[in-house]
Each structure stands twice: as C-alpha cells, then as structure tokens.
C-alpha cells in the first residue's frame, strides 16, 4: 500500500531531503498566525486559552492534543505519533481558517456532505474517492470488535449512520465520519467519507484530504 501524504512529508522533514517546502509553509503560517489575537484563535477553534506560564492555546486533535505557544510562537504535540511538521502545518491552516469565521454565522451544523461538495471539492472528489476506497474497504472488513478498538484508540465513536459508521474530530470544530452500507440485491456495498457542511470554513480542502488520509492509514496500519 502506498504511504499517505503525511508520511511522505514527515519523512522529508525528518531526513531533511526535499523538506524546504514544508519548512517554508510552517514558517509562513507561524508569521500569519501572529497577526491573530490569541483569544480569537481559541474562540474560533474551540480551543482553550491558557495564560499561566507560557501563554498558549490548547486544542484537541483526535485522541491527543496540540498546543500553539506564543512565547516564542511554535506548535507542540501531545503524542510522538503526531509530533510531525505536516500535522503542525495542518493545525495552523485550521486555526487561520477558523479565525476568519469570527463575527459570522458559521458553525458546525451536524449535516454531512462528501468531498465533492466541499469548496473546490469537485476536482478532488472523484480521485479522492478512488484513492481511499481500498483503505475504507479494508477497514470495514475488520471484525466489529477490532474496528471499535482502533476507533477508540484514535478518539472516535460509533455513529448512527448507514449500516456501520464511526465519527472522529480532527479538531473540535472539524468532524469527519466514515460510513458503510452493506448493500442488497439492488445495490452493491459501498463506503463513504463525510464532513460537516461547514468544513470548508474550517480547513482548506487539500488539508482535509491530508488529515483524512492520515487517519485512515493509522486505522489500518496495525492490520
């Protein structure tokens, strides 16, 4: 199985080979986030501002947490498996996108859409569906007990959707769902990746794709 985009960028960052692009993105995003008030960052993302010690915003990420510190500006993580430059870049992209929603009516709605309905998702949708179909099928072929173990390990929970479904939160205001329908005499079995209708207001579509691939690969890597 080909590695996910996160794994490729993480390898570059750790080895220093062809890592200039991801390092440049991290530096640019840190500069951009400096222009946003820390309290606004916390409010917009559903994170928690802490003023004791080093001023920071703490935000949950799947089963763990990430921290944006302000003296100096940097991102820390709660677990080694997410202590990677690509995840830090994705967190900063999310925080900047979320901050743009302050003062608007944007909020998580609890209505699911697929990738093709995201902003600029029409171009990515078909390719993304094909590239993730095999991983989803392998995940849903696991026993229910094994699926639950892996879902709980990454901070997810079962959902009342289709014939089997599990929900996760990349960040407090950025949920994702993996659903499966068994099919019948008329329809073949199929699986879908779903996002809240507000997702494009909280993360660029390419960032959602990267986060989703990261999670899917982690869910089946112990297979």
Are the beta carbons of 203 and 97 closer than 8 angstroms? yes
CB 94 within 8 A of CB 175: no
Q: What would the mean pLDDT of 61-85 be, rounded to a whole number? A: 94
List phi, psi (to 5°) of 164: -160, 135
Residue of 223, 174, 205, 217 whose CA lies nearest to 46 = 174
Locate tokens 């179909």: which residue?
A: 133
Helix/strand/coil percent split, the chain, to 5: 45, 20, 30
The structural domains of the chain, with segments of one domain joined by +, span: 5-99, 112-220
pLDDT tier for residue 221 given thresholds of 50, 70 and 90: confident
Q: State the CB neighbour count (10 A cutoff) for residue 143.
A: 8
pLDDT band, very low/low/confident/very high, at 131 (cuts 50, 70, 90): confident
Residue 1 has pLDDT above 50, yes or no: no
Bridge partners, 50 (sequence order) = 56
Tell me the average pLDDT across 165-171: 98
pLDDT, average across residues 140-151: 96
Among 127-131, 158-162, 196-200, 211-215, whose mean pLDDT is lowest? Answer: 127-131
Mean pLDDT across 186-209? 91
| Contacts for 45 with CB less than 8 Å, ≥ 6 apart | 57, 59, 94, 95, 98, 99, 171, 172, 173
The confidence score (pLDDT) of residue 16 equals 57
For residues 44 and 177, give the distance between their C-alpha atoms in angstroms, rounded to a whole number: 22
Give per-residue pLDDT as tens, 102-114. Answer: 888 889 999 999 9
Which H or E run includes 57?
strand 56-61
């Amino acid at each position: 199985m080909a590695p996910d985009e996160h794994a490729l960028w993480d390898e570059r960052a750790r080895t220093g080979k062809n890592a200039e692009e991801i390092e440049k993105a991290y530096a640019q995003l840190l500069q951009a986030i400096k222009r946003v008030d820390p309290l606004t960052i916390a409010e917009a993302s559903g994170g928690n501002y802490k003023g004791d010690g080093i001023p920071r915003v703490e935000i949950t990420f799947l089963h763990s947490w990430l921290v944006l510190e302000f003296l100096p500006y940097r991102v820390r993580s709660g677990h080694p498996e997410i202590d990677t430059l690509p995840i830090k870049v994705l967190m900063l992209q999310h925080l900047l996108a979320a901050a743009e929603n302050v003062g608007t009516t944007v909020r998580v709605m609890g209505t699911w859409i697929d990738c093709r309905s995201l902003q600029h998702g029409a171009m990515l949708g078909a390719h993304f569906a094909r590239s993730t179909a095999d991983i989803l099928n392998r995940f849903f072929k696991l026993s229910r007990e094994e699926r639950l173990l892996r879902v709980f390990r990454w901070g997810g929970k079962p959902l009342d959707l289709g014939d089997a479904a599990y929900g996760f939160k990349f960040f407090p205001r950025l949920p994702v769902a993996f659903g499966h329908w068994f099919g019948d005499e008329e329809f073949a079995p199929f699986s879908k990746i779903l996002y809240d209708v507000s997702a494009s207001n909280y993360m660029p579509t390419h960032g959602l794709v990267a986060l989703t691939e990261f999670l899917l690969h982690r869910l089946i890597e112990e297979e």
